[in-house]
Amino acid sequence: MGAAAHSAKVVARYVDGRMTKGFAQNFDPTRDAFALTPHDASVEPQARHVRVSELKALFFVKDFDGEPDYSERREFLKAAAGRRIRVRFTDGEELVGTSLTYHPSRTGFFLFPGDPFSNNEKVFVVALAVADVTGA
C-alpha cells in the first residue's frame, strides 16, 4: 500500500516561506517532529524529517491543488463547535475558524475553518509563527 493509504494529506508551510505537499505518517501535536513523504516522490518515496518549530502551520487538506479560483471566506458559514478565533501570522496571513485546543502557552493548536468550502479540513497552527489571536 502507498503512503496515502495510512497517512494524512498535508501541506507543510514553513516560517521561511517554503512549502511541501505530502503525506504525514505520524503527526502528533505533542511531539517535536514528524515524517512527511512528498506527494510527488518517485516510486521509492523518501520520508523527510520535519521539525514543528520550523513550521508556520500544517494544513490538513482535501486536495493538494484545491480550487485555485476560490477565495476562502473569513466568516462563519455554519455552526461549529469550539471557540471562534481569528489568527494573524507574523507574515500577515489571517485564518478564521474554531478551536477546541487553543491556549497561548501551548506549542500550537488545531483550527477548523469557518468556511465549509475551504480546501483545509483542519490546520495545526504553530504558536511561534502567530502574531496574535483574537475572537472572531
| Cα separation, 62 vs 48, whole angstroms | 21
pTM of the model: 0.88
Domain with 115 in it? 83-135
| Cα separation, 17 vs 88, whole angstroms | 16
Domain annotation covers residue 71: no
Domain annotation covers residue 66: no
Residue 53 and residue 89 in one domain: no
Look up residue 44 and give its three cell numbers.
Answer: 521509492
Among 105, 118, 114, which residue's Cα sits nearest to residue 135? Answer: 114
Q: Count of domains in the chain?
A: 2
Q: Residues near 125 by Cβ (< 8 Å), separated by ≥ 6?
A: 57, 87, 95, 108, 109, 110, 111
Tens-digit pLDDT string for the chain (136 aa): 444 445 899 999 999 999 999 999 889 999 999 999 988 766 556 888 999 999 999 999 999 887 777 777 666 666 677 889 999 999 999 999 999 989 888 999 999 998 888 899 999 999 999 999 998 6
